Amino acid sequence: MTSNNFTAQRVVGTTVFDSILFKDAFGTQQAREIFSDTSLVGRYIEVEVALAKAQARCGVIPAEAAIHIAATARLEDIDFERMGQETDIVGYPILPLVHQLVDLCGEAGRYVHWGATTQDIMDTATVLQVRAALNLLDEDLRALRAILAGLASKYRDTPMAGRTHLQHALPVTFGYKAAIWLAMCDRHQERLAELRKRVLVVQFAGAAGTLASLGEQGFAVQQALADELDLGVSAISWHAARDGFAEVVNLLALVSGSLGKIAYDIMLMASTEFAEVYEPFVQGRGASSTMPQKRNPISSELMLAAAKAIRQHAGLMTDAMVQDFERATGPWHAEWIAIPESFILILGALHQAKHALGGLIVDTDRMRENLGLSKGLIVAEAVMMALAPVIGRQQAHDVMYAACRVVNEQGGTLAEALAKIPVVTQHFDAPAIARMTDPINYLGLAPQMADRVVAHSAEMDKKRAV
């Protein structure tokens, strides 16, 4: 019995999306439900029923037939095993589904799928899935932005080393860094709102996209179907024009790229040598099997992995745009892989981001300590700019270059090196040199920039609420 149970469990999952071990690391239950077989077939039926209702409204099929189809075309009555077997033979799931719906609907079954083609039903069902997933994405982005706005405000004035090329550059604040993260997510929220009108449109155009089977009623049925499903209408068929879905997945790639950047920052800052931030503590999370001292940044690692995977799907979707004539021979099928996986990955990554950033542990003392590692050299530019008005810009640069070499080669601090240079002490006393070489006095407009981003983000949400 134990052996049989083990065998049954062993074959349950084959990818990270259905794996007992990894499915919640790379996705969420809500995301999986949207793109499950059950949900997908349910969407197919939803579209077929909506089509019957739309055609009845337009007088194309009898009203009684539409009523009966709506009452009897039920997901719970579908034989999934039979449908799967037929789909394997046909290559598409709609004809196998229509076979069963016709049987279920009796006399009214003759009007099921009237004037439609397989891709009409599948594309529109995918649009409905995408809409549901975009709603989750919208919610998660808003929640993440609220977390980031809180970090940007709380740590507005917390000084830390700004780094370029992994070297100390100039002082910044942690609030400034969090505000950069927030600004990226704000832009993604705007992009999400803008693409809806281009993507959330019905697909109903018939075999070659001309609505020939419905004659002059074609446009009326198309609009009625869109009304039933609360979708927009495209001016022309998009059977072989796939820019809408490609735009969606490329947006997901942009969001995941930003999450990957945030994750990368967190992972570097959480390294032993930096020790400036940590993901929230959860007993056993990030533990090593052999090194008890380890506390690995698991959420950040998962965010970064998702970003890499979604970028591949974004390329696949762009490639799939290159289609032949009025209906594609194969590129369309690539979407069946890329769209569900991309959404599951991004919603999983956002879940990890909310966890990591929502409970982020920030060591402000270590940030200040790291800021002093260069012994004042991080503000060499500040001193140069203070010297330039009195001794000239180039001379100031040369003086500072020499002073920095002294600190690097002989030790001591920048302030101590400057105190030994006559051309400096001639114009600046010890307290002035101390002020010039204190990193906290050279934050530029970093705090004000954080304020500006937080205010803009709040204004975005206020306008949406109105």
CATH number, domain of 106, equals: 1.10.275.10
Element (H, E) at 159: strand 159-164
* Per-residue model confidence (pLDDT) at position 148: 98
Q: Are residues 284 and 334 in the same domain?
A: yes
Q: Are residues 387 and 341 in the same domain?
A: no
Q: Are residues 255 and 304 in the same domain?
A: yes
Q: Are residues 352 and 403 in the same domain?
A: no
Q: What is the rounded average pLDDT for all residues in the chain?
A: 91
Q: Are residues 42 and 175 in the same domain?
A: no
Which amino acid appears at position 159 of this protein?
P
Q: Are residues 321 and 244 in the same domain?
A: yes
Of 355, 370, 385, the residue that ends a domain is 370
CB 274 within 8 A of CB 264: no
Of 111, 143, 175, the residue that ends a domain is 111
Q: Are residues 292 and 409 in the same domain?
A: no
Distance of CA 161 to the CA centre of its chain: 28
How crowded is residue 323: how many other Cβ atoms within 10 Å of its Cβ? 16
**Residue at 217 is within a domain:** no
* Per-residue model confidence (pLDDT) at position 19: 85
User: pLDDT band at 136, cuts 50/70/90?
Assistant: very high
* Per-residue model confidence (pLDDT) at position 284: 54
User: pLDDT band at 288, cuts 50/70/90?
Assistant: very low
**Residue at 462 is within a domain:** no
Please state, in angstroms and rounded to a whole number, the distance separating the CA atoms of residues 119 and 331. 13
Tokens 């794996």 correspond to: 19
**Residue at 209 is within a domain:** no
User: pLDDT band at 32, cuts 50/70/90?
Assistant: very high
Tokens 């997945």 correspond to: 249
User: pLDDT band at 7, cuts 50/70/90?
Assistant: low
User: pLDDT band at 4, cuts 50/70/90?
Assistant: low
**Residue at 78 is within a domain:** yes
In eight-state DSSP terms, residue 281 is: P
* Per-residue model confidence (pLDDT) at position 283: 60
Q: What is the mean pLDDT of residues 429-433?
A: 91
Query: Hey, what long-range contacts does 95-98 have (CB within 8 A, 24 or more apart)?
Result: 97/41, 97/44, 97/45, 97/48, 98/48
**Residue at 233 is within a domain:** no
Q: Are residues 262 and 176 in the same domain?
A: yes
Catalytic residue numbers read 165, 288
* Per-residue model confidence (pLDDT) at position 1: 44
Distance of CA 18 to the CA centre of its chain: 20
Q: Is 167 helix (H, G, I), strand (E, B) or coil?
A: strand
Is 327 or 42 the better-scoring residue by pLDDT?
Answer: 42
Stated pTM of the model: 0.91
Please state, in angstroms and rounded to a whole number, the distance separating the CA atoms of residues 303 and 351. 9
* Per-residue model confidence (pLDDT) at position 163: 94
Residue 305, domain CATH:
1.20.200.10
Of 85, 111, 137, the residue that ends a domain is 111
pLDDT by residue (tens digit) across 379-392? Answer: 888 899 899 998 89
pLDDT by residue (tens digit) across 198-210? Answer: 999 999 998 888 9
Q: Are residues 261 and 327 in the same domain?
A: yes
| Nearest residue to 302 via CA among 338, 340, 354, 339 | 354
Q: Are residues 70 and 193 in the same domain?
A: no
Residue 409, domain CATH:
1.10.40.30
* Residue 6 confidence (pLDDT) above 70: no
Q: What is the mean pLDDT of residues 337-348?
A: 95
Which of 257-271, 291-305, 403-417 shows the highest mean pLDDT?
257-271
> Structural domain tally of the chain?
3
pLDDT by residue (tens digit) across 154-204? Answer: 999 999 999 999 999 899 999 999 999 999 999 999 999 999 999 999 999
Q: Are residues 161 and 71 in the same domain?
A: no
Q: Are residues 186 and 288 in the same domain?
A: yes
* Per-residue model confidence (pLDDT) at position 18: 85
Q: Could you tell me the residue range of the domain that residue 71 belongs to? A: 34-111
Please state, in angstroms and rounded to a whole number, the distance separating the CA atoms of residues 459 and 436. 37
Q: What is the mean pLDDT of residues 310-337?
A: 89
